[in-house]
Amino acid sequence: MARLNPTTRLTNHPAGILGGSGAILYVLFIGLPVLALLIRAAQQSDFLDAVTSDTALTALRLSLVTSIISMAVVVALGTPFAYLLARSDQLWAGVVDSMVELPLVLPPVVAGVAMLMAFGRNGLIGSEMASLGITIPFTTTAVVFAQIFVASPFFIRAAKLGFQSVDRDYEDVAQTLGVSPWRTFFRITLPLAAPAMFTGLGLAWARALSEFGATMMFAGNLTGETQTMPLAIMSAMETSLDGALALSMVLLAGSIMLLVGLGLLTRRRWQRR
Partner 1 sequence: MILQNITETAAKGWVECRVGDFNLQTEWEVQPGQVLVLFGPSGAGKSTTLRAIAGLLRPVRGHVEIGGRIVYDSDEGTWLPTHERQLGYLTQQYHLFPHLKVAENISFGLPDRNSASAKERVNELSNLLQLDELEERYPWELSGGQQQRVALARALAPRPAMLLLDEPFASLDSELRRNLRRELRVMLAQSPVPVMLVTHDREEALALGDSVQVINEGRTLVTGEPLAVLGQPGQGRIARLVGVENLFNLTIAERNPQDGTMSCIGQGLRLEVPLDSRITEGAGPEGDQDRVTVGIRASDIILAKEDLSGSSARNRLQGEVIAVESRPPGYAITLKLSSDHDPEMLRCHITGTALDEMGIRVGQQLWAVFKASSCFLVDEEQPTESSPD
Told to check if 191 binds partner 1 by CB under 8 A, we report: yes
Q: Exactly one of 62, 136, 188, 251 binds partner 1 (CB under 8 A); which one?
A: 188
Neighbour tally for 264: CB within 10 Å? 9
| Gap between the Cα atoms of 157 and 128, Å rounded | 33
| Gap between the Cα atoms of 182 and 198, Å rounded | 21
Neighbour tally for 166: CB within 10 Å? 19
Which positions from 243 to 262 touch partner 1 by CB under 8 A, shown as an x/- string?
A: --------------------
Told to check if 174 binds partner 1 by CB under 8 A, we report: yes
Q: Which residues of 202-216 are buried (b: 16+ CB within 10 A; e: fewer)?
A: bbbbbbbbbbbbbbb
- For residues 121 and 183, which CB has a smaller minimum distance to partner 1 in the complex? 183
Choices 20-28, 48-56, 144-152, 181-189; region in contact with partner 1 by CB under 8 A: 181-189
- For residues 51 and 193, which CB has a smaller minimum distance to partner 1 in the complex? 193
Told to check if 186 binds partner 1 by CB under 8 A, we report: no
Told to check if 172 binds partner 1 by CB under 8 A, we report: yes
- For residues 17 and 173, which CB has a smaller minimum distance to partner 1 in the complex? 173
Q: Which residues contact 129 (CB under 8 A, 6 or more apart)?
A: 119, 135, 136
5-34 residues in contact with partner 1 (CB under 8 A) are none
Shortest gap between Cβ of 173 and partner 1 (angstroms)? 5
Q: Exactly one of 107, 170, 239, 261 binds partner 1 (CB under 8 A); which one?
A: 170
Shortest gap between Cβ of 180 and partner 1 (angstroms)? 5
| Gap between the Cα atoms of 96 and 106, Å rounded | 16
45-74 residues in contact with partner 1 (CB under 8 A) are none
- For residues 171 and 225, which CB has a smaller minimum distance to partner 1 in the complex? 171
Query: Of how many residues is the chain composed?
Result: 273
The angle at the Cα of 135, spanning 129 to 138, to the nearest 5 degrees, equals 145
Shortest gap between Cβ of 160 and partner 1 (angstroms)? 19
- For residues 96 and 179, which CB has a smaller minimum distance to partner 1 in the complex? 179
User: Contact at 8 Å (CB) between 72 and 124?
Assistant: no
Cα torsion 12, 15, 16, 21 to 10°: value is 130
User: Contact at 8 Å (CB) between 219 and 142?
Assistant: yes
Told to check if 264 binds partner 1 by CB under 8 A, we report: no
Chain positions contacting partner 1, by CB under 8 A: 167, 169-170, 172-181, 184, 187-188, 191-192, 268, 270-272
